[in-house]
Amino acid sequence: MKKLINDAHVVVAESVEGFVQAHADLVKSSGNPEELFVSRAGGAVQGKVGLVSGGGSGHEPLHAGFVGKGMLDAAVPGPVFTSPTPDPILAATKAADGGAGVLHIVKNYTGDVLNFETAAELAEAEDILVKAIVVNDDVAVQDSLYTAGRRGVAGTVLVEKIAGAAAERGDDLDGVLAIATRVNDNVRSMGVALTACIVPHAGKPSFDLADDEIEIGIGIHGEPGRKRIKAVSADETTDLLLTPIVEDLGLSGGEKVVLFVNGMGGTPSSELYIVYRRARSQLEAKGVTVERSLVGNYITSLEMQGCSITLLRLDDELTELYDAPVDTPALRWGA
Amino acid sequence: MKKLINDAHVVVAESVEGFVQAHADLVKSSGNPEELFVSRAGGAVQGKVGLVSGGGSGHEPLHAGFVGKGMLDAAVPGPVFTSPTPDPILAATKAADGGAGVLHIVKNYTGDVLNFETAAELAEAEDILVKAIVVNDDVAVQDSLYTAGRRGVAGTVLVEKIAGAAAERGDDLDGVLAIATRVNDNVRSMGVALTACIVPHAGKPSFDLADDEIEIGIGIHGEPGRKRIKAVSADETTDLLLTPIVEDLGLSGGEKVVLFVNGMGGTPSSELYIVYRRARSQLEAKGVTVERSLVGNYITSLEMQGCSITLLRLDDELTELYDAPVDTPALRWGA
């Protein structure tokens, strides 16, 4: 294992320390290693619904890279690929509360769901109103290694962006939850891995993939997907991801979507655009309009090579919220 | 070799096609495969100095990702790791000319320098005034595989950003060249590779590195650096890059810098922030102020794992230009 790290045990702590130093105008850290979270530099916005997300680290820029105006109020980075405990989630929830309640945005993994639930109960005992959206956009598998039901993957980025815009414009907690739910109901994803990644404290690849094999339907922690096949062309690979998404979403001609091609961390951006090109062409052939596009590393699996495709069915309001201004460490010049 | 490509011969063409589709509000392609370039969707800005850069592909988002308001007017993507010929550079120069002349921003590689020179002569024969800045910020080696003199690497991003801002505020061609020269004179970089990358048409790693080795002073095409050593910690690796940069720049206490930690394409962003953290701490120990920070994949080597560190000595004017608004495919929400 070769990594630019000092010690597998302090990867998250040191990385978050560098991150908040580099973006001190936008974010700060709790500074407490037992209750580590990142929040907006200016603190909670009074009267605004607070948005808190979190989960295992290793998916950067998700979630801390999305803390800032128009998106999250706080993010809780757990150990690599491991859910944070309820304590830091509670601390982040309190820091994000501006008196209008807090929405938890949770990816559907058993550990995350349980720990966010516990934190929500503790917060409510302190008179903070908390609601939660559990994102489950991955069409690849019904249940998986760490999940009952579908996994939450790249759709989470769109939930955070669009719910963040709704909170910023002044929607109340029920309103922000309704928007987040609408995004989750209309977003689907599926991914492919060309290589595994190495979790620092494990020190070896999270799974084995032969030199000529790819894993279709991979999870963001390297969990098994639908099938392992011989590597095929980018266009064929794209079709294997796109078809189940389009079918599951029940997408038909005349509809409008966000086409989001996400890099898993180790994929050259040129390859992501080749996948984007094919997906767009296939969607257009069906009469679907690609209204907005997102291409890049937004939710990664350390240095894994591969990508995921996400489609979000748009309506006018979701489009407006998607377009609303955002200013976070990962989404500005100087990111 | 596993890559998300269809055919090694059309990687650049297909990738650029997807790129301009995804960012059609900002950029367009020449559409001519013999004279392929990317330029601002709205065409040349009348009365503004035009900025054109380019070079071998495989370093994305550099250069096409930086075409847009506040930065480049056109970018010329050559084949992977291979200079574009004079014809597309000439075509891009004509497209970028708003009547105030054009600045060529050229990384110091023999092929790029020659082909940009030829294109400049051809442009001048058509009455377009062209000047060039040759960026040579890499302190690792004096001459190298593809270079006489120092190589141009990540400092190029800062030249493009700051010269772009100078052009946008209305500086004339000599003024923009003077600013670009000031950036180049005050910027230094050095990189490290943990892994090699695979050029699509070669189909095999560009060099061999053992499982426990890293290459200090690597070039962005995998050219040899200063030395190959056993992998050491992130902090030690950072010091091996930072020390020669600080010495070469003659940096002393009380000065202000941009600290730019660039990912080579396959490095998790968490690792880049660990490197950033150490570099910042070392600079602060010397009394140097990290005035601005840039951390992420800005000039890559396909899927190579590793990073580079760049320091730019700042003065008030350079800081103001660094901060000026920018809106390009790689530097906005929806990148």
Give DSSP secondary structure letters for B35-87. Answer: G--EEETT-PPTTSPEEEEEEEESSTTTTGGGBSBTSBSEEEEEEETSPPPHH
The complex's ipTM works out to 0.97
pLDDT tens-digit series, residues A250-288: 999 999 999 999 999 999 999 999 999 999 999 999 999
Cα angle at A13 between A7 and A15, to 5 degrees?
A: 85
Closest-CA distance, B194 to chain A, in angstroms, reads 7
Domain ranges of chain B: 9-185, 187-333
B-chain residue closest to A71, CA distance: B333
Please judge whether A195 and B58 are an interchain contact, meaning their C-beta atoms are less than 8 angstroms apart.
Answer: no
CA dist., res. B219 & res. A317, Å (int): 47
CB nearest A268 (choices: B267, B296, B302):
B302
pLDDT tens-digit series, residues A5-43: 999 999 999 999 999 999 999 999 999 999 999 999 999
Please judge whether B270 and A60 are an interchain contact, meaning their C-beta atoms are less than 8 angstroms apart.
Answer: yes
pLDDT tens-digit series, residues A38-59: 999 999 999 999 999 999 999 9
Tokens 């109901």 belong to residue: A185
Please judge whether A268 and B300 are an interchain contact, meaning their C-beta atoms are less than 8 angstroms apart.
Answer: yes
pLDDT tens-digit series, residues A72-101: 999 999 999 999 999 999 999 999 999 999
CA dist., res. A251 & res. A284, Å (int): 12
Please judge whether A5 and B233 are an interchain contact, meaning their C-beta atoms are less than 8 angstroms apart.
Answer: yes
Residue B334's pLDDT is: 64
Fold of the domain spanning A9-185: Rossmann fold (3.40.50)
Query: In which band, very low, low, confident or very high, does the pLDDT at A246 lie, cut at 50, 70 and 90?
Result: very high
pLDDT tens for chain B, 335 residues long, are 899 999 999 999 999 999 999 999 999 999 999 999 999 999 999 999 999 999 999 999 999 999 999 999 999 999 999 999 999 999 999 999 999 999 999 999 999 999 999 999 999 999 999 999 999 999 998 877 778 899 999 999 999 999 999 999 999 999 999 999 999 999 999 999 999 999 999 999 988 899 999 999 999 998 888 999 999 999 999 999 999 999 999 999 999 999 999 999 999 999 999 999 999 999 999 999 999 999 999 999 999 999 999 999 999 999 999 999 999 999 987 65
The one catalytic residue in B59, B63, B104, B201 is B59
Supply the DSSP symbol for A215: E
CB nearest B22 (choices: A265, A271, A295):
A295
Residue A282's pLDDT is: 98
Please judge whether B235 and A6 are an interchain contact, meaning their C-beta atoms are less than 8 angstroms apart.
Answer: yes
Closest-CA distance, A126 to chain B, in angstroms, reads 34
Kindly write down the DSSP assignment for every residue of B107-166, as one continuous string.
Answer: ES-HHHHHHHHHHHHHHHHTT--EEEEEE--B-S-SSBTTBSSSPP-THHHHHHHHHHHH
Domain A187-333, CATH? 3.30.1180.20
Cα–Cα nearest to B2, from A9, A262, A237, A142: A237
Closest-CA distance, B127 to chain A, in angstroms, reads 35
Closest-CA distance, A291 to chain B, in angstroms, reads 10
Query: In which band, very low, low, confident or very high, does the pLDDT at A161 lie, cut at 50, 70 and 90?
Result: very high
CB nearest A273 (choices: B7, B18, B296):
B18
CB nearest A303 (choices: B234, B266, B280):
B266
Q: Given a cut of 60, is residue A187 above it in pLDDT? A: yes
User: What are the tokens at B8?
Assistant: 């090694």
Residue A334's pLDDT is: 64
Please judge whether A57 and B3 are an interchain contact, meaning their C-beta atoms are less than 8 angstroms apart.
Answer: no
Cα–Cα nearest to A55, from A85, A16, A94: A85
As a whole number, mean pLDDT of residues A323-328 equals 96
Query: In which band, very low, low, confident or very high, does the pLDDT at A147 lie, cut at 50, 70 and 90?
Result: confident
CA distances from A132 to A68, A108, A178, A326, B107 (A): 20, 11, 11, 22, 50
A-chain residue closest to B278, CA distance: A18
Cα angle at A162 between A271 and A286, to 5 degrees?
A: 50
Within 8 A of A273 by CB-CB distance, chain B residues are: 14-19, 22
pLDDT tens-digit series, residues B63-73: 999 999 999 99
- 3-class SS of residue B288: coil
CA distances from A124 to A43, A86, A119, A178 (A): 20, 13, 9, 20
With pLDDT > 90 as the criterion, what percentage of chain A qualifies? 93
Residue A335's pLDDT is: 55
Closest-CA distance, B190 to chain A, in angstroms, reads 15
Please judge whether B273 and A15 are an interchain contact, meaning their C-beta atoms are less than 8 angstroms apart.
Answer: yes
Within 8 A of A194 by CB-CB distance, chain B residues are: 2-4
Within 8 A of B259 by CB-CB distance, chain A residues are: 22
CA distances from B170 to A67, B50, B94, B98 (A): 35, 11, 19, 12
CB nearest A274 (choices: B6, B306, B331):
B6
CB nearest A235 (choices: B6, B267, B305):
B6
* B-interface mutation test, from A1, A2, A3, A4, most B Cβ less than 10 A away: A4
Active site positions of A, annotated: 59, 221
- 3-class SS of residue A25: coil
Residue A332's pLDDT is: 86
pLDDT tens-digit series, residues B92-151: 999 999 999 999 999 999 999 999 999 999 999 999 999 999 999 999 988 777 788 999
CA dist., res. B146 & res. B152, Å (int): 11
Active site residue B59: yes
Name the average pLDDT for chain B: 96
CA dist., res. A32 & res. A16, Å (int): 12
Burial of B45 (0-12, 13-18, 19+ CB in 10 A): middle
Please judge whether A270 and B11 are an interchain contact, meaning their C-beta atoms are less than 8 angstroms apart.
Answer: yes
